[in-house]
Amino acid sequence: MFEDIQVTLVSAAAPPARVDRVGELQSRIRGMEARRLDSKTVPTHPALAAVLPGGGLREGTVVQATGSTSLLMALLAGPSAAGRWAAVVGLPDFGVEAAARFGIALERLVLVPDPGRQWLTVTSALADVIPVIVIRPAGRLSPAESSRFTARLRQRGGVLITAGEWPGADTVLEVGESDWRGLGDGHGALAEREVLVRSAGRGGLGRPTRTRLRLPDHTLGISAMPAAGTDHTAGTDRGTTAEVTRVDFRRAG
The domains found in the chain, sorted by start residue, are 16-169+234-252 (3.40.50.300)
Per-residue pLDDT of the chain (253 residues; tens, 9 = 90+): 444 433 333 334 445 554 456 556 555 544 444 444 455 889 998 888 888 888 899 999 999 999 889 899 999 999 999 999 999 999 999 999 989 988 999 999 999 999 999 999 999 999 999 999 999 999 888 889 999 999 999 999 999 999 999 998 999 999 876 666 655 444 444 457 787 888 888 754 556 778 888 876 666 667 776 543 333 333 333 444 456 666 665 554 4
- Cβ–Cβ under 8 Å, residues 77 and 86: no
The full 3-state SS of 86-102, as one line of letters, equals: EEEECCCCCCHHHHHHC
H or E element: which one contains 76? Answer: helix 69-81
What torsion, rounded to 10 degrees, do the Cα atoms 45, 47, 49, 51 define?
-110
Question: What predicted TM-score, i.e. pTM, was given to this entire model?
Answer: 0.71
DSSP 39: P
Name the CA radius of gyration of the chain, rounded: 20
CA angle 116, 136, 134 (to 5 degrees): 110
Note the Cα 81 to chain centre separation in Å: 16
H or E element: which one contains 148? Answer: helix 143-156
Residue 4: the pLDDT is: 45
